[in-house]
Amino acid sequence: MTEKRRVLRLLAPQKSLREHAQEAVRRAILELRFQPGERLVERTLGAELGVSRTVVREVLRFLEAEGLIEISRNRGPVVATIKPDDIEQIYELRALLEGSAAAACARLAETADIAELERAIRELREASAKDDPLLTIRATNKFYERMFAISRKSVAWSVVETLNLRINALRTMTTRTPGRQQVALREMEKIFRAIAAGDAKTARAAAIEHVEAAGAVARRLLAEQPPAERPGTAAARHPKPAAAD
């Protein structure tokens, strides 16, 4: 019996310092505490995380492989940026994946699952009432993570996770549009109600409708902005100083 316990301990090792640091930086990037295009300074990250620069370099290497950071020739590691040509594809993929997951979730969700989704929606309402973009992103991500888990769409969720940096940046932009946050909340409540009712067809349609509405807002906002001010462009991240009067 003792030997079996030792084997079990070996099969379930504690996370390494690098893994903890990587999760912390990943979470900060996905929650937009580091903005797209922002330079990541090894010394500063090491001081904030309480780890060596060697560990920081390992973390940055793993996050680069995940597509969350890019290595700039002149600036070193920076948070990955949104490519304007990618935006249409992002919303197209979201509609396909989220629509499929919502439908499967409606078919498979049990009472405990519905309760978890309802808690996420309640947190989303509270974030919306506070007009807090960070809390909104956290609550929204929590809802979708549970929806995909309940739907057993693990591969689809891994694809969504690779897009989450760009999705969150676009989400922050669209929810700051006057009135959009309240409309988005109603759209997500519609998804939840369809899932809770076990209505797969309505859940799929509601999820797609939500993504298409967000995409329409994003495209309109981008069309109204000068190219230099669009998300992910160098000029938007590093605006020129105003000329002297």
Span 95-119, pLDDT tens digits: 999 999 999 999 999 999 999 999 9
Pick the more confident residue, 31 or 3: 31
pLDDT, one tens digit per residue, over 129-146 is 887 777 888 899 899 999
The encoded tokens of residue 142 equal 């929590």
Q: What's the CA gap between 220 and 239, in Å, rounded?
A: 22
Of 23, 31, 25, 33, which Cα lies nearest the Cα of 69? 25
- 141 with 164: CB under 8 angstroms? yes
The two domains 15-79 and 84-229 share their CATH topology (first three levels equal): no
CATH of domain 84-229: 1.20.120.530
Average of pLDDT values for 29-36?
Answer: 79
Q: What's the CA gap between 81 and 220, in Å, rounded?
A: 19
Q: Where are the domains of the chain?
A: 15-79, 84-229
Instruction: For domain 15-79, give the fold.
Output: Arc Repressor Mutant, subunit A (1.10.10)
